[in-house]
Each structure stands twice: as C-alpha cells, then as structure tokens.
Amino acid sequence: MSEFLSDKPIPPRDRLIVALDVADAAAARALVTELGDAVSFYKIGLELFMAGGYFELLQWLTAQGKKVFVDLKFFDVPETVRSAVRALAGSGATFATVHGNQAIMEAAVRDKGDLKILAVTVLTSLDRGDLDDLGFACDVDKLVLSRARRALETGVDGIVSSGLEAPMIRRELGQRLLVVTPGIRPVENKPADDQKRTVDVAQAFSNGADYIVVGRPIRQAADPRQAAEAVQATIAGVFR
C-alpha cells in the first residue's frame, strides 16, 4: 500500500469525478443518463456555463442524487469572489474552484458554508516552458507546493493538482488538504492532447489523490458506461 494513499472516509465510487465538458446542457444530461449509477460525481465547467442552463443543470444533477463540482476557477477582486461563493453556497454543489491567489482564497472561504473550496495550483495543461512564458522563475513543483501551503494556511479545503506533484504535497503537508487530480489518462497520452502533466488512475491514487477527474477517456469511449465502470474497478482495487 502506498504511503500517500488517501485515508479519508470517501466512498470509493465517489472518488471518480466525470468532467461534463460537452457542448450544452442537453448533451450533459444525455451522458449522465447513459452513465447511470456508474458515476455519482460530476464536474461542470466553463463550456457549459457559457452554453446556458448551467444552474438548471446543477439542480437537475443534485435532484438525481449526484454530487457536483462547480469548476469555474474564480479569479477576480476578492470581494467579488466572496459574493460569488456566497451565492453558490446554497446551490447544492459540493466543490468549487478558485485560483490560488492568497487574497482570493481568503475571500472564498469567508462565506462558503458547506461548500468545499478547491484552490487551483498549476493547470495540468501547463509545463515548464509555459511557466517561463508566464514569467514564473521557478519549477512547477515549487510553485505547486507554495500554493498548496498557502491554501492550507487560508483555510481552503483542498487543491487541484497534477498527480505528478501529489506525492510532494503529501510528503510536505500530510493528509490535511483534499487533493483532486485532473489530467487522468488510462492509456498513453496522444500527441494532440492538451493535458501535459498526466498520470493513470492507479498512479494518481498511489501518489496521494483523494479524487480524480476523468473526461475524454470516458466521454469519447466507444461505450462510456463500460469505460466508467473500468475506472471504478481500478479504484475499488486500489482501496480494497
């Protein structure tokens, strides 16, 4: 058993979060219906927000007994972020994301209620070259750890982090933060994939993830439900 394996009392089947990165709410509902009880947790992000019907979809998901991760990555004047989080807190969502700026994180936790706030460390679509372009004169792992420490200090519930940096976070900060890992690729990454810092399902959990976010490997599978159940079987094996 990995020394970094999550010790939190999370039902294994809730540890898979499927990203509903589809064109509109109707397509999202169709995919959720197809996946049925294979998936209990969904992420709804910016594409759906711009397509319309976002909050109606959120309400529909919670009415189906699903958990919802609102992934809008709030990044604005702290008071605006605080107001946005306060408005979201009564929606039934389980998670919401903010960018890892300290003042924004402090504002986000002020009126969050039962909503769990996740701070984005470094997007999994970025690598060392991208950080150079953005003016960050440090390695990816140092930036991730710095933001994770600040998240812990400000009372944020967890972070969004690549599975590659998760062991470092667990080594330095223990199990005190939730770690949600996107960029999961069950097979070797394709050259055209925009996710650069990826791991597979078992490795993500061995490295310290509490939850994983999976999108295209399930959504684009020939049989999405079968693909989701395969991921669930791997998770069940890890947490046996």
**Which residue numbers are catalytic?**
73
Distance CA 119, CA 26 (A): 29
DSSP state of 14: G
- Which helix (H) or strand (E) segment is 68 a member of? strand 67-74
Give the closest residue to 95 by CA, choosing from 70, 59, 58, 61.
70
Q: Which residues make Cβ contacts (< 8 Å) with residue 223, sequence separation at least 6?
A: none
Could you please report the per-residue DSSP string of 69-138?
EEEEEE-S-HHHHHHHHHHHTTTT-SEEEEES-HHHHHHHHHT-TTPEEEEE-S-TT--HHHHHHHT--S
